[in-house]
Amino acid sequence: MHHYKEIIASYADKPGGLIEAYHAIQKEMSYIPEEAIAEAAQVFKLPVSQAYGVATFYSMFSVKSRGKNVIRICESAPCHVAGAAEVIAALERELGIKMGESTADGKFALELTECVGQCQATPVITINGKPYLDVSPAKIPDILGEYK
Ligand code: FES
């Protein structure tokens, strides 16, 4: 059970509370569900459209359900040149999903990202923000194994 109501309540009196609450909810659920946006609108006394607008304005928030462990593959030029496409293919094969999708068991989501500032060791992926450097298709099963 997710307790987004308690999370929202705990930020109700804080300045910038709405964004902080969204961060906390996303950290726990990996996205911000519609019910949580409706609840936030009520608590922060905003029209739902505005609470929704805040959640969709920032690219760090997702309002779409997605897998708990968010895997991002850097697609900027240095990673691309170093073989990001092969890493993407390996991830898609291993997880049985395509880029932008989540696994049916809700464990993993695959997304693309811009450079994450680790270009010294391309290609790079991140899982829940943790960077993995010098990734190759052969390393994918072990990396994913840490999250299974
Ligand atoms: S280009 Fe991929 S981390 Fe910088």
93: phi then psi, degrees, rounded to nearest 5: -65, -50
- Pocket-testing residue among 88, 111, 112, 124, ligand 1, by greatest number of atoms within 8 A of Cβ: 124
| CATH number, domain 69-145, options 3.40.50.720, 3.40.30.10, 2.60.40.10, 3.30.465.10 | 3.40.30.10
Per-residue pLDDT, 18? 97
Q: Are the beta carbons of 21 and 40 closer than 8 angstroms?
A: yes
CB atoms within 10 A of CB 22: 25
The DSSP code sequence of 34-45 is: HHHHHHHHHHTT
Per-residue tens of pLDDT for the chain, all 148 residues: 468 999 999 999 998 999 999 999 998 888 999 999 999 999 999 999 999 999 999 988 999 888 999 999 999 999 999 999 999 999 999 999 999 999 999 999 999 999 999 999 999 999 999 999 999 999 999 999 999 8
Q: How far is the CA of 28 from the centre of ligand 1 (A)?
A: 27
Q: Is the CB of 79 under 6 A from ligand 1?
A: yes
Q: How far is the CA of 15 from the centre of ligand 1 (A)?
A: 35
